[in-house]
Each structure stands twice: as C-alpha cells, then as structure tokens.
Amino acid sequence: MDDFIYIQAAMRFMGQKHYRTFRNWCKGTGLEIFKNIGSRRKYVIRSQFIHARFGELIQTLKNRHGENWLEVFKLHLDGNVSEIIRIEEEKKEKIEQISIANNTMQGHEMEYLSRLHEKIREL
C-alpha cells in the first residue's frame, strides 16, 4: 500500500472536480499538499488524508463507542452495515439495562452515576 495519494485520486474519492476547491479544503483541515521533485504531480500523505476526511466521523465514534471506536471505524470503511447495526443494537440494549437499573436507585446514587457518565465521556 502506498503511503501517499495523488491529488487526482483524492479528489475523485471526495467527489470534487476542481483543484482549487480541494486545495482550500486541505488548507481548512491542515492537510499539506506535496509535490514530486521534477514533476507536476502533487500528492498528500494517505494517513493524514484519511484522518482529515473522516475526522468528524472518528470523533463521533470515539464519543459513542469509547475504546471500540477503531473497530467500528474499520467496519464503516469496509461498508459492513450489518455488523455496525449489530454493535449499535447491543449498545442500545446495554443502555436500556442501565436505565432500568437506574430507575430502582435512590436519588444520590442517580446523581453519582450521572457524574460518573460525564467523566467517562470526557475521557
């Protein structure tokens, strides 16, 4: 696998037709465009491009899935919808079980758990 992506391929991947639009997007995301010596072909570093392109999705997955975000991200890249749905359904079931357990607790226990959940989200 190459460590870089030529600009034309990156633009096709994003559905962009104009270099200026792609260049402005790169500037906005902090992605640097490189040029081969003695050539007019320009490229970006593959890992940086993927991070810039999927940055919002990655952050959402980190918030939603915690330590398992990378596994879910790989499923998104592979287009494995059935496995993503399975993981999401398991997560919903766990949340429902926690909420049922929370309904049987006293007020101070509920307050402690809500503060604990906030701290977990911050991590």
| Structural domain for 89, as ranges | 64-122
Provide the pLDDT for residue 2: 66
Measured distance CA(71)–CA(122) in Å, rounded: 20
Do 20 and 49 belong to one domain? yes
Confidence class of residue 91 from pLDDT cuts 50, 70 and 90? confident
Task: Identify whether the C-beta of residue 76 lies closer than 8 Å to the C-beta of residue 84.
Answer: yes
Query: Looking at the 3D structure of the chain, how many domains does it have?
Result: 2
pLDDT tens-digit profile of 20-57?
A: 999 999 999 999 999 988 888 999 999 999 999 998 88
Cα distances from 107 to residues 14, 102, 112, 114, 119, in angstroms, run 50, 10, 9, 11, 19
Does 25 reside within a domain? yes
Do 47 and 69 belong to one domain? no
Provide the pLDDT for residue 121: 74
Q: What is the mean pLDDT of residues 87-100?
A: 76
Confidence class of residue 101 from pLDDT cuts 50, 70 and 90? low
